[in-house]
Amino acid sequence: MTVWDDLVGQDRVREQLAAAAKDADALVTAVSAREPVEQGSKMTHAWLFTGPPGSGRSTAARAFAAALQCTSPDRALGGEPGCGFCDGCHTSLIGTHADVQVIRTDLLSIGVKETRDLVRRAQLSPAVGRWQVIVMEDADRLTEGAGNVLLKAVEEPAPRTVWMLCAPSLEDVLPTIRSRCRHLTLGTPPVEAVADVLIRRDGVDPERAHSAARATQGHIGRARRLATDERARARRAAVLKVPLRVADVGGCLKAAQELIDTATDDAKQMADEVDVKETEDLKAALGGVAGGRMPRGTAGAMKELEDKQKRRKTRTQRDSLDLALTELTGFYRDVLALQLGSRIAIANVDVQDSLDRIAESSTPAQTLRRIEAVIACRQAMDRNVAPLLAVEAMTMSLRSG
Ligand SMILES: [Zn+2]
């Protein structure tokens, strides 16, 4: 086992990171021994990981972080850092290493204030480890102001600080920032490789692992959820029935309402799990008594938390709808493949009957129009059209005729 085991189907990226970790290790050793540092090091202070959702951007960053913190004695014997066993590797991978901070946001954007806090932290020397590592999972969500704050830190990093930014594509990151990062691109991992990791790591039975990997087309996180979460399977099954239910206006409106209700339920469940505790924690921190009045001057902080929770709710609902739209697109893509007799692998083999029915009762031109309707729905939501309106417009366009 090594730190790279969870990085699925990304051999080239893995090689580059392993080489950088080796040079980083030599760098730390040389500096502490006061030897001259070798030129042309493969290590650098700012990295940008891009790749489609589910390709393993943050997994790659975490594995790299672990390799940088590796303290295995084998390294001195020429072994590669990233053993996966030592304390440095292990705590980095499970998220408890004092010098590895992973920034994940459940909001639509990362603001100036949070970024300032991070930048301040990045100025510090590592507390116990060899490097101070900051992994930002959603660098595409930095506001422009936050990006400018970050830029300064990336331009003039502290000697032992490493930034690892993750984003879907280069275009999602401010040009000034991306030009200062070393860029690594992850591809969509092969279905076989995803199934393999589900079997090996999550103990999923092979048939279910293959079906989940195929259905999600190389998206590791979604494949895992589908293979291990009954609720996710029920959810997908409901979404894939939508194409059969849009025969008349009543069916269209009903299907739209259900898609929205499901997304709202997701947001509510998330809120129930997190918000209550978060609110109680903040109240306690501000010196409030359970059930009592809050001390003077704390209203602002409470309001700030409420706003944050509201934004998170919106985001969770959006993500849930987004997933449903992705699944619908996949369904019609399969229909189109059947209609055109294409040899590409069908993703949703478990609903082959429905695919056949729709493929036989419509034309490729209709299928293309339906795919466009799903894409238009996503675009409408990006423009902040009310979700129910956007989804209703979509289901109406999915009707035959
Ligand atoms: Zn190690």
- Ligand 1 centre from 97 Cα, in Å? 12
Give per-residue pLDDT as tens, 5-23: 889 889 999 999 999 999 9
Range with the lowest mean pLDDT among 28-37, 56-65, 160-169, 363-372?
Answer: 28-37
Do strands 46-50 and 161-167 pair parallel, antiparallel, or not at all (unpaired)? Answer: parallel
CA of 201 to the centre of ligand 1 (A): 19
How many other C-beta atoms are found inside a 10 Å radius of the C-beta of residue 192? 13
C-alpha neighbours within 13 Å on the C-beta side of residue 222: 24
Distance in Å, CA 61 to ligand 1 centroid: 15
**pLDDT tens digits, one per residue of 297-342:** 888 888 888 888 888 888 888 888 999 999 999 999 999 999 999 8
Q: How far is the CA of 127 from the centre of ligand 1 (A)?
A: 17
- As a whole number, the mean pLDDT across the chain is 90
Of all residues in the chain, the percent with pLDDT exceeding 90 is 59
Round to whole Å and give the CA distance between 349 and 171: 34
Contacts of 352 (CB under 8 A, 6+ apart): 346
How close is the Cα of 83 to the center of ligand 1, in Å? 4
Contact present, 173 and 143 (Cβ < 8 Å): no
* Confidence class for position 267, pLDDT limits 50, 70, 90: confident
CA atoms within 13 A on the CB side of 34: 0
- The CA 80 to ligand 1 mean position distance, Å, reads 9
Distance 315 CA to ligand 1 centre (A): 37
CA dist 165 and 49 (Å) reads 6
Q: Write phi, then psi, for 166 (nearest 5 degrees).
A: -125, 140
Determine the distance separating the centroid of ligand 1 and the alpha carbon of 71, expressed in angstroms: 5
Q: 87 CA distance to ligand 1 centroid (A)?
A: 7
Q: What is the mean pLDDT of residues 244-254?
A: 94
E strands in 161-253? 161-167, 182-185
pLDDT of 76 higher than 70: no
Please tell me the distance from the alpha carbon of residue 322 to that of residue 108, in angstroms, as a whole number: 14
Q: How many Å lie between the centroid of ligand 1 and the Cα of residue 48?
A: 23
At residue 231, the pLDDT reads 87
Here the tokens at position 169 are 């594509």
CA 382-385-390 angle, 5° bins: 95
SS3 of residue 142 by DSSP: strand
DSSP code string of 255-280: HHHHHHHHHHHHHHHHHHHHHHHHHH
The structure tokens listed for 326 are 């992705």
Instruction: Look up residue 91 and give its amino acid.
Output: T
CA–centroid distance, 181 to ligand 1, in Å, is 25
Alpha helix (H) ranges present in 57-205?
A: 57-69, 87-94, 112-122, 144-155, 175-178, 191-202
- Centre of ligand 1 to C-alpha 183, Å, is 25
The answer to whether residues 391 and 321 touch, using CB atoms and an 8 Å cutoff, is: yes
Asked if pLDDT for residue 32 goes beyond 80, the answer is no
Amino acid occupying residue 251: G
DSSP 334-355: HHHHHHHT--SPPS-GGGHHHH
**Distance from residue 138's CA to the centre of ligand 1 (Å):** 27
CA atoms within 13 A on the CB side of 142: 28
98 CA → ligand 1 middle, Å: 15
Question: What distance in angstroms lies between residue 164's CA and the mean position of ligand 1's atoms?
Answer: 19
pTM: 0.75
CA–centroid distance, 30 to ligand 1, in Å, is: 19
Calpha distance 163→61 (Å, rounded) = 10
> Ligand 1 centre and the CA of 88: distance in Å?
6
Q: Compute the distance between CA of residue 379 and CA of residue 397 in angstroms, rounded to an integer.
A: 15
Highest mean pLDDT among 31-45, 65-79, 166-180, 269-283: 166-180
Mean pLDDT, residues 198-210: 93
pLDDT at 33 over 80: no
Q: What's the pLDDT score for residue 38?
A: 59
CA dist 213 and 191 (Å) reads: 5
- Buried b / exposed e across 216-234, counting CB within 10 Å, b at 16+? bbbbbebbbbbbbeeebbe
Quickly state the pLDDT bin for 394 (edges 50, 70, 90).
very high
How far apart are the CA of 131 and the centre of ligand 1, in A?
Answer: 14
Distance (angstroms) between ligand 1 centre and the Cα of 214 equals: 33
β 161-167/132-136 pair status: parallel
> For position 116, what pLDDT does the model report?
93
